[in-house]
Amino acid sequence: MTAETLHTDVAIIGAGPAGLLLSHLLAAQGVESVVVENRSREYVGARIRAGILEQSSVDLLTDVGLGERLAREGDQHRGIHLQFPQERHHLDFVDLIGRSVWVYGQTEVTADLVAARDADEQRFFYSISDTRLHDIDSDHPSVTFTDADGSPYRLTADAIAGCDGSFGPSRSAIPGGATWEKTYPYAWFGILADVAPSTDELIYAWHPNGFALHSMRSDTVSRLYLQVEPGTDPASWSDDRIWDELATRLGHGQDGWELTAGPITDKSVLPMRSYVHAPMQRGRLFLAGDAAHIVPPTGAKGLNLAIADVALLAPALGDLVRKNDARLADAYSETALRRVWRCTHFSWWMTTMLHRSGDPFEEQLQLSQLRWVTSSEAGATGLAENYAGLPFEV
Ligand code: FAD
Ligand code: DHB
């Protein structure tokens, strides 16, 4: 069958937050895009992932008309609680650095983006297969794929944005790049529960049994995590065992604090790794989000970093496509990688400070670091600046 050929300004591979936001920001500059995605629209909309937005992400989403439901339903937090045995400390980011964070799930961000793109008649292809990139070193790159009905397409464009996450084909279309990778010897067991959060703001807890995190999605839905062995089967933990372990690690009963259990609606185990690919651009192919870098979840950077990449990439592609001006496009990789490495360091630092490694020497270093971060204004300010996110460099 001959492929049908389509042309657009920017071919976007992946309808995750990076791809969707990029199409939105490009449209605001009058740049057309087509988004191609190998999963179904329903699958992409239902994925449970990140939960925390930095101040810069909220500011950007608000500036581009995506802040209405976020302002109504998002929950602004002044900071986080950091806990280690017998001690719980609140770090107030607003007092420390005048910035805060919002609880607003990736599922909600994605739903708002899809609604805005639909209202703008954005062209999407969902449930595609056999996505391939071609001629990225020329001025006429293209993406070929097979649509949901089995019809082949060739999408030609002035540029391709590889927003296809950690398993997509874009990253490997940049041969000869450098990669840095670290795998951690632990994983997170995440649950979603239909119960009001037992805390006003997130609790990150160091415990001899392992790390625990109490997060949330709304006044009636809690999201909690436990450090477990990689490869743990979620079905091997009963609901009672999960709640008992969360209660132990989060300090149920200490100073009268109680963890309220409730029906668990989702269980999953997430592997943890740090990964950076450089450069993030080659010819007319630009990588954004998880396609170029992965961070472990501690510190909630993954989604925010994807948003930060796109905040740089959209004006760069706008200039390239509309004015044939490649200056921002040529600088994109180097500029983006500065923030990527800052967030990579912060996520690694939070991860290694809070997770049980089994090494008694490291345990003492962790506790010393936690005491310093929670008692020194300099220590607390460093954490706050990184967690609430540095302003975008645009
Ligand atoms: P993605 O959201 O991965 O989007 C990439 C898209 O590309 C996907 O829709 C994928 O289906 C599509 N795609 C892949 N291959 C192809 C192809 N061949 N053709 C077309 N399309 C393709 N971050 C946090 O900050 N906190 C968290 O709690 C957290 N939890 C997470 C839980 C899980 C299970 C995972 C996987 C990630 C989690 N993250 C978390 C990370 C965060 O979700 C990501 O950093 C964020 O989704 C990055 O957005 P993205 O658009 O770059 O990539
Ligand atoms: C959530 C995830 C994180 O990785 C984190 O550091 C904080 C919150 C969450 O899913 O709510």
- Is a pLDDT exceeding 70 seen at residue 277? yes
Share of the chain above pLDDT 70, in %: 99
- Is a pLDDT exceeding 70 seen at residue 168? yes
Measured distance CA(130)–CA(394) in Å, rounded: 35
The pLDDT confidence band at residue 391, using thresholds 50, 70 and 90, is: confident
Enumerate residues lining ligand 2, CB below 6 A.
50-52, 202, 215, 223, 297-300
Q: State the catalytic residue, choosing from 214, 293, 301, 355.
A: 301
User: Across the chain, what does the average pLDDT equal?
Assistant: 96
Between the CA of residue 218 and those of 35, 76, 79, 300, what are the distances in Å?
30, 11, 17, 17
The pLDDT confidence band at residue 394, using thresholds 50, 70 and 90, is: very low
- Is a pLDDT exceeding 70 seen at residue 223? yes
- Is a pLDDT exceeding 50 seen at residue 378? yes
- Is a pLDDT exceeding 70 seen at residue 124? yes
Has 77 been annotated as catalytic? Answer: yes
Q: How much distance in Å is there from the Cα of 231 to the middle of ligand 2?
A: 20
Residue range(s) occupied by CATH 3.30.9.10 in the chain: 193-270
The pLDDT confidence band at residue 393, using thresholds 50, 70 and 90, is: low
CB 201 within 8 A of CB 222: no
The pLDDT confidence band at residue 173, using thresholds 50, 70 and 90, is: very high
Has 182 been annotated as catalytic? Answer: no
Residue nearest to atom 15 of ligand 1 (CA): 168
Measured distance CA(96)–CA(110) in Å, rounded: 31
- CB-based contacts of 392, cutoff 8 Å, min separation 6: 56, 60, 308, 311, 312
Q: What is the average per-residue pLDDT within 376-394?
A: 89
- Is a pLDDT exceeding 50 seen at residue 171? yes
Measured distance CA(341)–CA(167) in Å, rounded: 21
Buried b (16+ CB within 10 A) or exposed e, 248-287: bbbbbeeeeeebebeebeebebeebebbbbbbbbbebbbb
Q: How much distance in Å is there from the Cα of 230 to the middle of ligand 1?
A: 20
Has 204 been annotated as catalytic? Answer: yes
- Is a pLDDT exceeding 60 seen at residue 318? yes
Q: Give the tens place of pLDDT for each residue, 330-350.
A: 999 999 999 999 999 999 999
What's the topology of domain 4-76+102-180+273-357? Answer: FAD/NAD(P)-binding domain (3.50.50)
Q: What is the pLDDT of residue 392?
A: 78
Residue nearest to atom 3 of ligand 2 (CA): 300
CB 299 within 8 A of CB 174: no
- Is a pLDDT exceeding 60 seen at residue 327? yes
CB 190 within 8 A of CB 223: yes
- CB-based contacts of 237, cutoff 8 Å, min separation 6: 189, 267
Measured distance CA(164)–CA(166) in Å, rounded: 7
Enumerate residues lining ligand 1, CB below 6 A.
13-19, 36-39, 44, 49-51, 106, 128, 131, 163-165, 167-169, 270, 289-290, 297, 300-303, 306
pTM: 0.96
Indicate the DSSP class of residue 391: P
Q: What is the average per-residue pLDDT within 165-178?
A: 93
Domain 193-270 homologous superfamily, CATH: D-Amino Acid Oxidase, subunit A, domain 2 (3.30.9.10)
- CB-based contacts of 40, cutoff 8 Å, min separation 6: 126, 127
CB 341 within 8 A of CB 328: no
Q: Which atom of ligand 2 is nearest to the CA of 217?
A: 11
Q: Which atom of ligand 1 is nearest to the CA of 225?
A: 28
Residue range(s) occupied by CATH 3.50.50.60 in the chain: 4-76+102-180+273-357
Residue 85 burial (10 A CB sphere; 0-12, 13-18, 19+): exposed
Please name which of 271, 339, 349, 338 lies closest in space to residue 305, comparing C-alpha atoms: 339
Q: State the catalytic residue, choosing from 204, 225, 275, 332.
A: 204
CB 191 within 8 A of CB 267: yes
> From the CA of 105, which ligand is nearest?
2
Please name which of 211, 193, 189 lies closest in space to residue 269, comparing C-alpha atoms: 189
Q: Give the tens place of pLDDT for each residue, 2-17.
A: 999 999 999 999 999 9
Positive/negative CA dihedral, 107, 113, 117, 120: positive
- CB-side exposure of 104: number of CA atoms within 13 Å? 27
Q: How much distance in Å is there from the Cα of 303 to the middle of ligand 1?
A: 8
Q: How many helices (H) and strands (E) does the chain have?
A: 11, 19
